[in-house]
A and B are shown apart, each in its own frame.
Chain A
C-alpha cells in the first residue's frame, strides 16, 4: 500500500514538475524591454511621468518658471521638450522664442542626466539578474543549478556518505502540493498582486512572509523606488499568502514519512499568469520539532527593475546629506544629484532574509564555510592569490579504519529505515537473534568503568553487548555518547566473544577514529564544532588521541588540542542551556522503550540498531530509500555477508574418511581484479584558463594601426594622425593645410568604427573559447569518475557463472571444473 502511495506521489510530483517546465516563458520580452530603456536613454522617448515631474520641479527650484506659470503647467512643456517639439515648447513655456531654445536644451539635458542615472541603476540590476539567476538560491527561477545538483546528489547518495564527506548538507525533499491548496487561492493572490506595483511587492515578499508575522500588517504604500520599496506592505497580498501557508501540514507526523529534525520540504512551484514571470513558492521545515511553514513570491527571470528614487523628500537625513541639500529635498520634493541615505540592511537569517531560503542558506553569504573549515595556515602563500579555504592533509599516524570479517561497508546503517518497533526487552534478553549475531543491553548506571561517561563492554558468552551510560553525565552528552558506543557495538557484533577492540595502538586508533567520525558529525550538525572552532578532521583526531592516551600522547594523530574534550563538553552544556531544550534523560530513554526514547534523541540511532541485523540474512527484512548509494550499500553488505561469513562454493558428501569435503574450491576462477587497477581521478580545483587582456588589446591596437598602414602604437590614436603626412607635402595655402589636418582623422573614422563593431564579435568568440577551456578542465574529474564507474559496471557484466551445480556425490571432477581450470588465466 505504501509503495502504491509512494508511486502515486512520485507520479504526481513528476506531473507537477513537468507542468511547471512545460509552461513557456512568453511574456518575458527581454529584448523589447531593453529597447525601450535604450530609446529612453538616448532619445528621451517614452520618458515616464516621474522624470517629467522631476524636471518641472527642478525648474521651480532653479527659478526658471516664467511668471504666471505653475509647476503643473511646466509638465506639458517638459513633455514637449522631451518629444523634440520645439515650437510647442516655446509656446507653452513663455510664448516667445527669446532664449527659448536654450531653456529647451537645458530641460532636455536635465532629463538626459536623470535618465542616465536611472539607466545605470537599471543596467546594474539587469547585470545582477544575469549573473545571479540560477545560482542565487532563490526559488522558482528559470533554471536553478543548486536545486538540480541537490536532486542528483539525492539520487546518488547513501545516508552513510555523510561520514565520508566534510560537508554538512541540508536534508531537502519535494512532495506534491497538499489538497488544501487550491487553484482559487493562487487566482486570488494573482488578482491581489495585479492591483499593486508587482515589482516592488514581489521583491518585498521574495524571502517569504515569516518576517512579517512579528508586526500586524499596516498598509504602507511607498513609491516603487529602489530604497523606499523596502518599507512597503500590502495587507491584501499578505492575507492571500497566509491563506496558502495555513493550508500546509502543521505537524511533522502529517508528512509521509514524518519530517525529520532539520529536514526541509519544498512544494511544487506555481507560476502566476498575471503578473508575468512571478512564481509562488512554499516550504516547511522541522526546526527542533516545530514545523515552520513559509510562503513567498519570486521571479522566473527578474526583468522588472525597480528605479532609484528621484522624487519625494519626507525623510531626508540632514546629518548625512547636509542641511542645505535636505532643505531643497523637502521644499521641492526632489532629490537632485542622486544623493541618498545608506541603503536599508538586508534582513538577517532570524528575520527571514536571504539565508532563510533553503538553498541560499548554504551559499557563501550565509554559511561562511560552516563545519568544513580547515584552518590551514599556508606558509608560502602567494600574495596575489585569493584563498577561500585550505585544508590540512590528514595528520593521522595510525589507520583510521580496520575491517574485520563481516559486513563493513555502510556499517553504521544510517542508510536503513528502521523496521518493526524495537523494545528494550527485545534486545537485552535474547542474546543472538536470528537476524544478528549479537544484541544490545543499554543501561543507565551510576558510574561506568574508568569513570567514563559511556563504555561498551565486549560481547559476552550469550552474544549480548552491554553499553553503560553514566546517568550523572549532562543530558547534552547523551546523543553523542549513544552514537559513539553504538559504533563500537557494531564493530564487535560479528566478532568472537570477549574480543578486545582496543588492545593495540593500531586497533585502538582505528576503532576510536571510526566511532568519533560519527559522533563528531552530529556535533558539526549541531554547530558545536563551530563554537569551539574545530573542523571534523580535528575533532576526530583530537578525541581519538584522548581515548587512546594510554598508548602515549598523540598516539593516533599529530593534531594537538589541549583540553579538546573539556572544550566540547563545555560547548555542549552551553548549547543545552542557551537552546532551552528539554532533552531526554538517560532514564527517559530506557524507560520509554528503545524506539521512542532513542528516536527522541536521533532517528539515526534506530537505524544503527537496525544495522546490527544482517542486510541479507534470510527472513530479516531490510528497508531503505531507493538511491544509488543505498542500493550499493545493500549489494555490498550482501556480498560481504556471502563471501566473508558463508561458503559460496558447495562441498560434497564424503564417502570415506579421507575424502575432501570441498574439492571444488580449487575450481574457482582467479580473482579477475575487476576494479583493482582503476585509479580514482584526482579531484583538483578547476583553474581559470590564461586570459591575457593586454595581449588582446595590443592586437586590436595593431589592427587599428594597420588599417592606416602604420606600425602599431599605443594608444592607437597615434596612428590616426600623422602630422608629417601633410607637412612633408604641403599645400599651397595654410587654410587647405589646416583643413587637410582635420580631415585626416575623419577619413579613418569609418574603418575604425567598422573594426570596433567587429570587436564585440571577436570578444564573444574569445570569451566562449575561454569558457570552453575552463569547462573541459573542470569537467575532467567528473567525466573520469563516470568513466571509472562505467568500467566497473562493464567488469561486473563480464562475470561468468557456471551453468551446472556442483555434484553432491562425485568421484571425478565435473566438466565445469575442468573447463574453469583450463580457462583460468595462466
Chain B
C-alpha cells in the first residue's frame, strides 16, 4: 500500500468531520436548542409564582442582594408603604375610560409598575392597579425568601457585611470574632423580627384595602358612566333644541303657505 492511501483516508475523514461539525452547527438552530432556550428564558423571567431565591437572576433587581443588610427592612417597608399610599390615591385618580381592556382602565401607578417590573410574574407584562395586592404579596414572599436564605448563610454573609462596611469606611478589613458575633446576633434578631412582623403588617393593610378594592372596579366604572352621561345629556339637549323646530313643518298642507314669497 502506498503512502498516498492513508493521506487520502485522513483527508476524507477530516472533511467528513468538518462536514459533520458544520451540519451540527447549521442544524442546531433549526432543531430545538435556540427555541427551547428562549422558552426557558421567558419562563424563567415571566413565570407565575416561581420558587423564590435572592440568588435567582429574576429576583436580582430587588434590593435584597448581598451587602447592606441593615437597609433591607427599611427598603422593604418603605417600598410597600409607598405602593399602598399610591393605591389609596388611585381612588381619586381619573380612569382611562377609553381603554380597550379592563386592565388598562386603571393602569398601575408608577410605584406599583416599578415594583412589579422587578418581580418575575410581571417582568414582561403590564400590571394593573387591581393587581396591587398580588404584587405586594409576591414582594413579601421574595423578602421572606431573602431573609430565610440570609439566615442559612448568616455567618459568611455577616462576615462579608462587616468587610464591606469596613471597606466603605476606609478602615482595616480585619474582622474580630467579637465583631462577627455581634453582627450575627444583630442580624439574627432582625431576621426573626422581620419574619414575624412583615407578613401580619401586610395582611392588616390588605385587610383594609381588600375591602376598599372590591369596590374599585365599580367606582371606576361609575366615574366613566358619569362622564359618558354628561356627553349623552348634552347631545340630547341639542336634539331637544332641534325638535323645538318641528312645528315649522306642521300642517304644511295649506297651499297658501308661501304665496307671499
Contacts and interface: CB of A to CB of B under 8 A. Distances in A.
Interface in A701-721: none
Interface stretch (A163-171, A403-411, A418-426, A758-766): A758-766
A26 B82 CA distance: 11
B84 interface: yes
Interface residues of B, number: 71
A402 interface: no
B244 A126 contact: no
B138 interface: yes
A764 B133 contact: yes
Contacts of A618: 247
B3 to A, nearest CB: 65
A126 B211 CA distance: 10
Interface of A: 21-22, 24-26, 28-32, 34-35, 37-39, 41-43, 123, 126-127, 129-135, 142-143, 145, 148-149, 151-152, 155-156, 301, 303, 616-618, 626-628, 631-632, 634-635, 638-639, 641-642, 646-654, 661-662, 750, 754, 757-758, 760-762, 764-765, 767-768, 771-772, 775, 779, 789, 793, 806, 808-809
A631 B219 contact: no
A42 B251 contact: no
Contact of A30 (B88, B200, B223, B249): B88
19 contacts: A26-B85, A34-B201, A38-B197, A130-B208, A132-B211, A145-B218, A152-B229, A156-B229, A301-B88, A618-B247, A631-B239, A638-B246, A647-B251, A647-B252, A647-B253, A757-B144, A760-B137, A762-B49, A793-B235
Given A123-B207, A131-B211, A642-B250, A149 B49 contact: no
Contacts of A642: 246-247, 249-250
A123 B196 CA distance: 17
Contacts of B250: 642, 646-648
A143 B210 contact: no
A38 B200 contact: yes
A247 B84 CA distance: 39
The 5 closest A-B pairs by CB, nearest first: A130-B211, A650-B252, A653-B255, A651-B253, A646-B250
Given A31-B205, A35-B197, 16 more contacts: A21-B92, A29-B85, A30-B209, A42-B197, A156-B229, A626-B237, A634-B243, A639-B243, A642-B250, A647-B253, A654-B255, A661-B253, A754-B145, A758-B141, A761-B134, A768-B131
B222 interface: yes
Contacts of A754: 51, 145
B82 to A, nearest CB: 8
B222 A149 contact: yes
Contact of A143 (B92, B193, B232, B235): B92
A347 B148 CA distance: 52
A654 B253 CA distance: 11
A801 to B, nearest CB: 10
Contacts of B211: 127, 129-133
B209 A765 contact: no
B204 A134 contact: no
Nearest to A760: B137
B158 interface: no
B210 A130 contact: yes
A765 B89 contact: no
Mostly helix, strand, loop or mixed at chain A's interface? helix
Contact of B221 (A25, A638, A761, A779): A779
Contact of A631 (B77, B88, B233): B233
Contact of A31 (B84, B197, B225, B244): B84
Nearest to A783: B221
B258 interface: yes
Contacts of A649: 252
A77 to B, nearest CB: 23
Contacts of A648: 246, 249-250, 252
B255 A651 contact: yes
A616 B88 contact: no
B207 A628 contact: no
B258 A768 contact: no
Contacts of A616: 243-244, 246-247
Contacts of A29: 81, 85
Given A35-B201, A126-B208, A764-B134, A152 B226 contact: yes
Given A25-B92, A628-B236, A761-B134, A775 B205 contact: no
Nearest to B216: A143
A46 B240 CA distance: 66
B233 A626 contact: yes
Contact of A652 (B130, B235, B255): B255
Contacts of A809: 255
A761 B137 contact: yes
B142 to A, nearest CB: 10
A148 B223 contact: yes
B233 A628 contact: yes
Given A152-B226, A638-B246, A775 B134 contact: no
Contacts of B253: 647, 650-651, 661-662
B88 A25 contact: yes
Interface in B130-170: 130-131, 133-134, 137-138, 140-141, 144-145, 148
Contacts of B49: 758, 761-762
A130 B213 CA distance: 8
Contacts of B232: 628, 789
A145 B222 contact: yes
A152 B222 contact: yes
A6 B55 CA distance: 65
B230 interface: yes
Interface in B179-197: 193, 196-197
B252 A628 contact: no
Contacts of A631: 233, 236-237, 239-240
B144 A43 contact: no
Contact of B240 (A26, A635, A775, A789): A635
A142 B88 contact: yes
Nearest to B204: A34
Contacts of B145: 754
B32 to A, nearest CB: 29
